[in-house]
Structure 1
């Protein structure tokens, strides 16, 4: 998978690996308002999913992977979980 910043959006392409989570996290920490484009993502490693769920960026989709579109995108669209005390 490639994680790239293009035209102000973070674009994920192909199947992700654990290393992609670090690149995604760094780009989102640098600018939390950047949208993440999943339209070319074909599979997301659990670590990439964790970054997305933790930071809740705007997501552009639907994803190329029907599983991601059906199950992950609704979670990302929902309200964030409250911070633990």
Structure 2
């Protein structure tokens, strides 16, 4: 599994597949303010990106995958709705 809780930080590691979206969602909903660390993340499945876009958790690190680093991370960093 690519989603791992480490204290208050949710670490995405390696390739994040569709089945990682649900555990990520659960961890983010369990406790507000958890940070998602992308520094060890590879490719992010669209379902994982949708969870991140919907909940807009605080992020740290930059994914190793060049597409995610160039396109997804800036999208997640844009102004949050509300």
Q: Same fold (TM over 0.5)?
A: yes
Q: Could you tell me how far apart the structure 1 residues matched to 2:43 and 2:18 are?
A: 12
Aligned-partner Cα distance in 1 for 2:15–2:32: 23
Q: Which residue of 2 aligns with 1:45?
A: 45
Give the TM-score taking structure 2 as reference length.
0.91
Q: Is 2:62 aligned against 1:62?
A: yes
Pairwise CA distance, 1:73: 1.2
Deviation string 1:50-77 (CA, Å, 9 cap, x unpaired) is 0000001111111111211111111111
Q: Say which SS state the counterpart of residue 52 (structure 2) adopts.
A: helix
**Runs of at least 5 residues in structure 1 that lack an aligned partner in the other structure:** none
Q: TM-score, normalised by structure 1?
A: 0.88
Q: Match of 2:54, SS?
A: helix
The gaps in structure 2 that reach 5 residues or longer are none
Aligned length, in residue pairs: 82
User: Hey, what's the Cα distance between the residues in 2 that align with 1:24 and 1:78?
Assistant: 20
Q: Which runs of 4+ in 1 moved over 4 A?
A: none
Larger radius of gyration: 1
Distance in 2, matches of 1:32 and 1:69, equals 25
CA RMSD, aligned part only? 1.2
Output aligned runs, 1:1-85, within 5 Å.
1-81=1-81
